[in-house]
Structure 1
Amino acid sequence: MATNKEKQNLSDLEAKNEQLRELQIQTEDLRMNMTKLENLTEHLTAENMFLENKTKEMKVIMTIQQMQIEQLRNNSDELNRIQAAIISYTNFPGDLFCPVEVCQMCPNDWIEFNKSCYYFYNFNSSLKTWDESRQFCQNNKSDLVVISSQEEQTFIKNRTDYCNDTQYGYWIGLRKISNNWTWVDDTQETLGNWNNEGSPENFTLIIQNATESHSWYKERNSALNRFICEIKALIF
């Protein structure tokens, strides 16, 4: 009986040992699976970070592209405006307004005022007659200034400099034709800012050393003076 009991205990121990071995195998399999899972998790985390970075990059690229598209749209709108402004000129002086392939409201060294550009010729070393002054302006696709409002008169008077004495100033585009004072654009003079109204001369200066309402000085064509050119501004 004792022997049978010992045999039974031995058999039970062997069964338990077998269970332990199976448990160890299962534990090892579980450990291996856990390791694989950890590796997979790390891999997925890395892929997720990669995708997040790519997503950020794509957002940056999309933002840049949207900005470029908006810039192109703005450039297109500006080009359309420039084209419309250019079409409004009979003969557009591109060399004046777009000297370096970038168009501007007024040519270099010209002053913008109320949708016009003005060039004040201030060189005492090369004064000109009225005809020579007008020819200079026309060579630069403009003409002698036409003063059509008191506001424009104020602007021009404030921009002129004193020139030698009261009989010197800046030629403007006003002269007498058939006993009528007529501007170079063929409109009639209406402001009457005369200084020497009784003079028989037929061409007009604007002089600095006089009040604004009495700053137009009648002079002969051959007198040498500075002058003012005017051209329509490129509004776009």
Structure 2
Amino acid sequence: MDRVLLSGAQQFNLTLTEAQLAAFERYSQELISWNQRANLTGIIEPGEIAVKHFLDSLSLYPLLAHLPPTLSLIDVGTGAGFPGVPLKLVRSALRLTLLEATGKKTAFLHHLIQVLNLTGVAVLTARAEEAGRQPDQRERYDVATARAVAPLPVLAEYILPFVKRGGVAIVQKGQHPADEIKAAANALGILGGHVSQVLPVTVPGLEAERHLVVIQKIKPTPPQYPRRPGLPAKKPI
């Protein structure tokens, strides 16, 4: 796994240290061990974890490289910590919040933070619709990230309430999401966002097409959003 990670990370202008490689190795081991009782992921082979979880997460690194080291980032629907924890392992000063609704997964995340000796990481067990209305979470982050947990019109309502005006949301998608972006135009306008970039990404070892959608937060999100849990998915803006 080390060789795959080391060479793959170089594609993103990252040179991993021995300590970082050891941390990724321990992460993989803990993920496989906990997966037997917590159903964290369907990907359980170390080589696949290195590519489909770790390198896929690190594909966001170039977008963060020019930002201040201590930027605040919330990873929405993080699951077993992707992409947030891999980004923390290569940017130790990152102030990271991991948001996940499933208790078994957040139990794993608390354990992972301990065994990797990570500081500056908070774990929230909550739905995005609930956390996004909390005063200590709303419009507090420089960056919000999410893997493809929902179509973009829905995802926008989940993530944009967390982002400061002037900050960005970065959404990981598969094939070019032109239709999703078109469908999300109304929601983005209402929620205060604007798609500024759609970047094709090549993840070493991964044949599947990948894109990063970068959404600039250009104005505050109106106070009525996000709506109550379940409504964004049932009735997208």
TM-score interval, normalised by the smaller of the two chains: under 0.3
| Structure holding more helix per residue | 1
Query: How does the TM-score come out when normalised to structure 2?
Result: 0.25
